[in-house]
Amino acid sequence: MCAVLDRAAAKKAAGIRLVQAGYHNRSLCLYTKLGFVTREPLSLLQGPKLNAKFAGYDVRPAEERDVKGCNKLCRDVHGLDRDLELRDAIRARSASVVEHLEEITGYATAIGFLAHAVARTNQDLKALIGAATEFPGPGFLLPTRNHDVFEWCLSCELKLVFQMTLMTTGLYNEPAGAYLPSILY
């Protein structure tokens, strides 16, 4: 880990993010001693697709024409965009957007462990989760303190696989909307 921190310093990285396994006390202590700050408890959720739809929240596959709106939304919520990941997901046909009142109000590169989602509201995020055709990998990460969405997921019979922790050093912007982090972020 010291080598990772040294490399980040040499590259002048604004910050480092990691997702730590919640059951692993030693790694939590190590990362804390190395300067990482606990930002968010995460719940890894898994289960069958939900087939849930919400009136006025239309989910469809993302297209190249959606990139500008998705990037703006991500900047509004996180203070940065994830343009390359979004474009890769559109090319792979795994990305989706939710539209509400004729505006893109959320997007997902997929609903899974290696993917991320960003939404204006919890309802937008629920629409994306509800429309997912699968939850690839071990499931998807949901910030546990988002009680509304967490409770909804549990009521839809999704299962908690285990707890994880989002930790950072350096620059961190508190999200200003609903989101699903990726193990990659």
pLDDT in the model for residue 184: 84
Q: Is the pLDDT of residue 112 over 80?
A: yes
pLDDT in the model for residue 185: 67
Confidence of residue 181 (pLDDT cuts 50, 70, 90): very high
Q: What is the pLDDT of residues 139-171, one digit of tens each?
A: 999 999 999 999 999 999 999 999 999 999 999
Q: What is the pTM of this model?
A: 0.95
Which residues have CB under 8 Å from 68's CB, separation 6+? none
- Calculate what percentage of the chain has a pLDDT beyond 70: 99
Pairwise CA distance, residues 124 & 105, whole Å: 6
Q: What is the pLDDT of residues 51-91, one digit of tens each?
A: 999 999 999 999 999 999 999 999 999 999 999 999 999 99
Q: Is the pLDDT of residue 30 over 70?
A: yes
15-180 carries CATH number 3.30.465.10: no
- Calculate what percentage of the chain has a pLDDT beyond 90: 97
Angle of CA points 120, 122, 124, to nearest 5°: 60
Q: Is the pLDDT of residue 15 over 80?
A: yes
Reported for 87-96, long-range contacts at CB under 8 A and 24+ positions apart, including other chains, are 89/62, 89/115, 90/62, 90/63, 90/64, 90/66, 93/61, 95/61, 95/62, 96/59, 96/60, 96/61, 96/62, 96/128, 96/131, 96/132
Tell me what the pLDDT averaged over the chain comes to: 96
